Amino acid sequence: MDQNQPTKIAQAKAVLEKNWQGGFTIPCEGLYPFQWNWDSGFIAIGWAHIDMERAKQEIRSLLMGQWKNGFIPHILFHNESDTYFPGPDVHASHLSPHAVSLPTSGITQPPVLGFVLEACYNISEDQELGFVSEVFDSVYNNHHYFYTNRDPKGEGLVYICHNWEAGTDNTPVWDEIWKNLDSPEYELNRRDTQHVDASNRPSNREYQHYIHLIELFKEWKYNDALIAEQCPFLIQDPLFNTMLIKSNESLINLGNLLGKKKQVEQLEKWQMLAKESFNQKLFNEELGTYVYYDLRNERHLNYVSSSSFAPLFAGIPTLEMAKKMVDWYFEKGTFSGNKDELLLCASFDPKSSHFDPKRYWRGPVWINLNWIIYRGLLRYGMEELAETIKKDTLHVLEKFGFYEYFDPRKEVLKTLEKGYGGNNFSWSAALYIDILKNTTI
Ligand code: GLC
């Protein structure tokens, strides 16, 4: 144990405390001043170790934004702030007949809530089911929303229709979509580049594409059928579907404890189909790992990113597939580089010409992806590599602080004094606390 760990844990708690808004936690002051969907999930796990009531409030606040059809938005505008673009006026959620009165965005984010709920339950000392029982149906309804509205072919794989839905907002994979998109050259009132170094952030042209998609959704009043028919961005993403599958699994476990027979039966059906299709459709035999599928253009997007390894977390590959994948990409260094070169785990293929170790999702290490892959490796009994990821994760957080993302190059890290993006970033702090414990999910 690093002898400074107790101080670091206190600092991590202080980050969460500072970002707590009396009901929910913002991801990062200035840069992300509202409640974000999957951030809140990871943050709730952190709170569960410190103050279970806050974990519950975090989740309750997120569910306040749930639409009547089960959809959970990616941003909830409980509060006002002029430090972020695009705000509630641009998203205009009231255009959807399903929206609730709380202003939100009209796009979603990776559905982590199911497994977050199980993690909180496992962390709780009394293992009391009251809270699980309070929110179970809402989370179930969210899964119902996905399988009935986002799976046009009935494959058990759901699509995302915006890069912000992926969570991995700026991965080079989306360049394939932007290439063919003739988005208007909107005047942008960007705020992110006022908070952090513009060279770490997406370009203006990319932001115009992001806004263009939102404008289309508004024109279609956020109607899912129209989006499925016409949206130029329609992707079956391995990370997003892994989160849903992992959350299915947790809801099945919790549903059994609650005696929710009918819902468990339905979840099991979704789960079986989802896992089977995932392995059939998203596993690229030649690459030996998972890739993306572009439903709009009926083609695979054969890129390897950290999302390619997320399926370990939900037990999707067979042990044999998992061993081969890990051996090739991590033991042989195809993704992880040689031992002195890279810290685990880059967010995009370091051998690709698109790899950029500084820019948002195009290479840097992200703590939530490390946490997902770490838990995935443990699930498959790959303790040694899991320990390396844990060690690398603790290293950057303890050396630099709770930044949003980090440079993976070991040589460069020696000369740096900080991480990249926002500082005092909530999920980096929350997952630091969790990774030091042995939460089982
Ligand atoms: C960035 C990340 C996204 C996250 C958000 C708030 O946009 O790409 O995954 O949810 O920040 O932290």
pLDDT (tens digit per residue) in 308-329: 999 999 999 999 999 999 999 9
| Residue 32 in contact with ligand 1 by CB distance below 6 A | yes
CA of 427 to the centre of ligand 1 (A): 10
pLDDT of 19: 98
- Per the annotation, the verdict on 285 as an active-site residue is no
Residue 281, both tokens: 């459709």
Q: Of the given ranges (189-193, 210-214, 276-280, 313-317), which has the lowest mean pLDDT?
A: 189-193
Residue 199 clears pLDDT 90, i.e. is over it: no
Residue 1 clears pLDDT 70, i.e. is over it: no
Distance between CA atoms of residues 98 and 224, nearest Å? 11
Q: Which of 224, 349, 356, 404 is catalytic?
A: 404
> Which residue did the predictor score with more confidence, 2 or 411?
411
The proportion of the chain whose per-residue pLDDT surpasses 70, expressed as a percent, equals 100
CA of 104 to the centre of ligand 1 (A): 15
Residues 75-133 pLDDT 10s: 999 999 999 999 999 999 999 999 999 999 999 999 999 999 999 999 998 989 999 99
| Mutate-to-test residue for ligand 1 from 39, 162, 243, 372, highest number of ligand atoms within 8 A of CB | 39
Region 234-258: what's the mean pLDDT?
A: 98
Q: Which of 137, 155, 169, 176 is catalytic?
A: 169
Atom in ligand 1 nearest the alpha carbon of residue 361: 8
Region 256-275: what's the mean pLDDT?
A: 98
Closest CA to 312 of 289, 334, 285: 289
Atom in ligand 1 nearest the alpha carbon of residue 170: 8
| Residue 38 in contact with ligand 1 by CB distance below 6 A | yes
Residue 355 clears pLDDT 90, i.e. is over it: yes
Residue 244, beta-bridge partner list? none
Taking residue 21's Cβ as centre, other Cβ atoms within 10 Å add up to 13
Ramachandran region, residue 112 (left: φ > 0; alpha: ψ -120 to 50; beta: rest): alpha
- Per the annotation, the verdict on 169 as an active-site residue is yes
Residue 201 clears pLDDT 70, i.e. is over it: yes
| Alpha-carbon distances of 25 from 8, 118, 246, 370, rounded to whole Å | 19, 20, 24, 21
CA of 33 to the centre of ligand 1 (A): 11
pTM above 0.95, yes or no: yes
Residues 369-386 pLDDT 10s: 999 999 999 999 999 999
Distance between CA atoms of residues 255 and 439, nearest Å? 20
The residues near 46 (Cβ < 8 Å, ≥ 6 apart) are 12, 16, 426, 427, 429, 430, 431, 432, 433, 434
Whole-angstrom Cα Rg for the chain: 20
CA of 196 to the centre of ligand 1 (A): 14
Atom in ligand 1 nearest the alpha carbon of residue 427: 12
Residue 300, beta-bridge partner list? 293
Ramachandran region, residue 222 (left: φ > 0; alpha: ψ -120 to 50; beta: rest): left
The residues near 73 (Cβ < 8 Å, ≥ 6 apart) are 37, 65, 67, 93, 104, 105, 106, 107, 108
